[in-house]
Amino acid sequence: MQDALRQCRVGIIGLGLMGGSLALALKDACRSISGYDIDPGTIDQAIARGIIHRPIDLRGDEVDLLILAAPVSAILDWLDRVPQVFSGEFHLLDLGSTKVQIVERMRTLPDRISPLGGHPMCGKETSGLGAAAGDLYRGCLFALTPLQRTRPGTLNIAQELTVTLQARSLLLDPQQHDRATATISHVPYLLASTLVDVTLNATDDVLWALAASGFRDTSRLAASDVTMMLDILKSNRVEVLDALDNAQSSLQETIELIEREDWTELRAKLEAVREKRKWWESTKRVTSNE
């Protein structure tokens, strides 16, 4: 059914950057939006700004589609609470940054709930409802990790949601998702943090005077919310360690080339990396313009 989302009573757990942006994007695309946040002030603000229609009643509520837009550990906790708070049959989608642990927990939900793992590949280094934007998801890739028990209607409504958000959906295995995001998302955060840490420990204050756009762009991820990132690192520990091993091997190779003053081999390595980066950027540009 192509217009199923418009008939949905949508509930959103977590009204920060991701949940708030989702609510803004769905404002005129569904029947109603209810919301909950651990901060009561955030709920009040969301109602006052017309971002949600009403708060979720934790004593008992009903939705057609429930979206968990919280840190991974909070999503895992909510998956235990959801059957007690929400009655009847409904679809459930999460926006967690890692998928294996969440999908495993989803398997224990009652049959009346049809779960689906999800992860939109977008965000900002800033957080909170004040940073929310209705166009946050536009053009992003929205990974979906179905379970065997996921009903076709749940997958259909999630894909309709991505179209409404002007995003693109991609079906993935949870393990494949977590392995990939460790390399392209979680380790980059740690490398950016390492760069800032090295600079902070330097004794020459002129570093900060000279730091400009290159340092700003390379270190941007270091400003990410630490609580959220710790959740991600804990839930994806094995894959992150494997990706860090690969990064360490590449860095060690670079160190050895510089020590040997093997500028020919270093040039070859850096040129190959440069070409890969240019190729990736060109493919992303084509995809985003489709």
Q: Structural domain of residue 85, as residue ranges?
A: 5-172
pLDDT of amino acid 287: 54
Averaged pLDDT for residues 178-191: 97
pLDDT value, residue 228:
87
pLDDT at 289 over 70: no
Q: What is the CATH number of the domain that holds 67?
A: 3.40.50.720
Based on the domain organization, do 146 and 193 belong to the same domain? no
Phi-psi label, residue 139: left if phi above 0, alpha if psi -120 to 50, beta otherwise: left
Per the structure, the count of domains in the chain is: 2
Distance CA 262, CA 254 (A): 10
The pLDDT mean for the chain works out to 94
**Shortest CA distance to 7 belongs to which of 65, 67, 55?**
65
Same domain, 40 and 136: yes
Q: What is the pLDDT of residues 86-134, one digit of tens each?
A: 999 999 999 999 999 999 999 999 999 999 999 999 988 778 999 999 9
Average pLDDT of the segment spanning 151-178: 96
Residue 1 above 50 pLDDT? Answer: no
Query: Any residues with CB less than 8 A from the CB of 185 and at least 6 apart, and which?
Result: 97, 121
Helix, strand or coil, per DSSP, at residue 126 = coil
Nearest to 154 by CA among 66, 82, 86: 66
Q: How many CB atoms lie within 10 A of CB 25?
A: 21
pTM to 2 decimals?
0.89
Residue 125, pLDDT score = 76
Q: What is the pLDDT of residue 203?
A: 80
Query: Which of these, 92, 205, 81, lies nearest to 147 by C-alpha position?
Result: 92
Q: pLDDT (tens digit, 9 = 90+) per residue, 188-233?
A: 999 999 999 998 888 888 888 898 999 999 999 999 889 889 999 9
In a domain, 269, yes or no: no
Same domain, 82 and 145: yes
The answer to whether position 192 is within a domain reads: yes
21 C-beta neighbours (distance < 10 Å), count: 26
Residue 123 and residue 197 in one domain? no
- Residue 273: pLDDT over 50: yes
215 and 144 in a common domain: no
